[in-house]
Amino acid sequence: MLQQTTVAAVIPHYEKWLRLFPDVFALARSPLPKVLKAWEGLGYYDRARRLHQAGRILCRDLDGKLPDTSEELRRLPGFGPYITAAVLSLGYGRPLAVLDANVRRVLMRLDRIRAASAAGVDKALKRRLDDLLDRNRPAAFNQAMMELGALVCRPRNPRCPVCPIQAFCRAFESGEQEIIPPPKRRPCERIETAVAVIESHGRYLIQKRPPSGLLAGLWEFPGGKREKGESLKAALRRELKEELGAEVETARLALKLRHAYTRFLVDLYAYETVLKDIPPLDGRRHKWVARRSLKMYPFPSGSARIIRFLEEREKGRRHGRSV
Ligand code: SF4
């Protein structure tokens, strides 16, 4: 859960997760859609899928217990070198150093390593970290290093005046703490999507995304990406023709929202749409769902915000307000 985000942002998700799945057996027994639903808002849904698969393997083959060797752990879905070292050192007290993005930044600043890419120097950093590791208290050491990176040696505005290792820090000595490591420049693609909110007799049409690829297996409102040179409404008409085999009668913009993913910035336009005819649909891929029941399905963040909008609007109408 903590990948690409902060502890403060994760805490409510973590608490909810533990209420739903108090142990690994509860997780393993749960169907995947329930697990994906519980993960909503955390992004990177493959992690939830792998956690679920690992839970099922643990319950089926290992009495629900996490193994304590690197070989066995690495066979579980989602267990790469980082998670494996973290489980073995934090859970079992094994003398293994954990190199995550926070620790990498601390070490690069400590030794004033000005490499162009932080990941490119991992081997050298791992050796340095192994030398520093307190073998008698590996869990405390690893957590201290991660916390130092997260709270003090922050990516921007590091808190050098209160840093406990300032006296040894070569980047601080040379005044380069802000430029080590160099900031990553991720290509950020801008995408515009037009989606249809289609209501019939108080129920809304939703569709399931394919089982692999981006946001696999989640539900969404029908629609898709605007092609070059196409207007948003034309994109909506084309997508609904392709996805549902349906013609649009009217489409009225109800909501515009922007959502940032790691590599994309998505402008999402939700149109209240009336179709000329509703063609027969594949029940495994499409569903008509009452507004109140939409909450039971896992949606990506953009669609979840449309659902909140529908909920607010319904409340507003009940109280005689227009939203
Ligand atoms: Fe990071 Fe500053 Fe501490 Fe150096 S002195 S480790 S740059 S917080």
- The pLDDT tens digits for 185-211 are 766 788 999 999 999 998 999 999 988
CB 197 within 8 A of CB 270: yes
The dihedral through the CA atoms of 81, 87, 92, 98 has a sign that is positive
Q: How far is CA 144 from CA 97, 106, 134, 150, 157, in A?
A: 11, 11, 11, 10, 19
pLDDT at 187: 65
Q: How far is the CA of 150 from the centre of ligand 1 (A)?
A: 11
Residue 9: partners with Cβ closer than 8 Å, 6 or more residues away: none
User: Which residues does the chain have with pLDDT short of 50?
Assistant: 323
Among candidates 40, 100, 99, 49, which has minimal Cα distance to 78?
49
CB of 158 closer than 6 angstroms to any ligand 1 atom:
yes
Instruction: Write out the E strands in 198-305.
Output: 199-200, 203-208, 219-220, 223-225, 248-260, 264-275, 286-290
CB 239 within 8 A of CB 204: no
Same fold, 97-185 and 189-318: no
- Ordered by start, the domain boundaries in the chain are 1-79, 97-185, 189-318
User: What CATH code would you report for 97-185?
Assistant: 1.10.1670.10
Q: How far is CA 38 from CA 43, 59, 211, 218, in A?
A: 11, 20, 18, 12
pLDDT at 321: 62
CB 121 within 8 A of CB 108: yes
0.75 exceeded by the pTM? no
CB of 102 closer than 6 angstroms to any ligand 1 atom:
no
pLDDT at 281: 86
Closest atom of ligand 1 relative to the 165 alpha carbon: 3
CB of 109 closer than 6 angstroms to any ligand 1 atom:
yes
**Domain 189-318 listed as CATH 3.40.50.150:** no
Choose the residue to mutate in 103, 106, 114, 156 for probing ligand 1, maximizing ligand atoms within 8 Å of C-beta: 106
- The pLDDT tens digits for 82-99 are 999 999 999 999 999 999
Residue 163 CA to residue 304 CA, distance in Å, equals 41
**Domain 1-79 listed as CATH 2.60.120.330:** no
Residue 33 CA to residue 303 CA, distance in Å, equals 16
Q: CB-side exposure of 248: number of CA atoms within 13 Å?
A: 24
pLDDT at 283: 83
